[in-house]
Amino acid sequence: MLSVIKRPIFKTAILSSGLLLITLLILERLWSEARVECALLVGCVGLFYAVTFLWTVVFWIEKRHYRIPYVPFCISLITGLIAYCIPLNRVCDRAEFAVLHNKYEKMANLVLQSRGDTNVYNYRLPHRYRKLSVGGGDAVVVQNKDVRAVMFYTFRDAERSKGFIKLSRGQNITECAHSLYNEVNLVKPMGNNWYYITGE
């Protein structure tokens, strides 16, 4: 075991796996803010992971006389399976919401008191709270006769977006969602009139 752990391949497998997981955790938020930098980061980390994965396979074949030469390969493989099977961005979004819940609640209450000229409009968040909604720091307000709601984006691009919606009253989430999206993919209640929503 020690003979494998002391090898550079072991440390490299851990490093590439860690970088891959961290990149996937922040990928959508980073993509919403800086697409070119995000593409470069994903390309570099992906290439590093792929090369390391191939290196672990070669190491296993060449050093099969070691006691457990497959450990670096297993580290890389398990990381790849985690990245493929677990929605890491959703996990990250939920964790961030739990940590910043008071700030989300404070801004939602402030934004819901505003009035706009249209049924759907952008509300510019105060500077210190702009990180609550990616892609510019704007929250989106939906207002109609039945319900008022505010959405904070956790990801957005030209084709799809997702985030947290706070309703002023606990009703008509479907109507509110269709005011924002042509096609709603997911609506998940989070309690206290908050919903996690994705759509296109």
Hey, is 197 helix, strand or coil?
A: strand
* Tokens describing residue 179: 């005011």
Residue whose entry in the numeric block shows the structure tokens 């691009």: 157
Domain spans, the chain: 2-86, 95-199
Predicted confidence at residue 5, as pLDDT, reads 61
Predicted confidence at residue 149, as pLDDT, reads 85
pLDDT tens-place values along the chain, 200 residues long:
445 566 787 888 888 998 888 888 888 877 777 778 888 988 999 999 999 999 888 888 887 766 777 888 888 999 989 988 888 888 888 888 899 999 999 998 888 877 766 777 888 888 888 888 888 888 888 887 666 888 898 888 877 888 899 888 766 777 777 777 778 888 888 888 898 988 88
Q: Give every CB contact of residue 98 below 8 A, 6+ residues apart in sequence.
A: none
* Contact yes or no for 77/20 (Cβ under 8 A): no
* 22: Cα within 13 Å, side-chain hemisphere: 9
Please, what is the angle between helix 88-99 and helix 101-112, to 10°?
Answer: 80
Predicted confidence at residue 121, as pLDDT, reads 80
Rounded Cα distance between 106 and 104, Å, is: 6
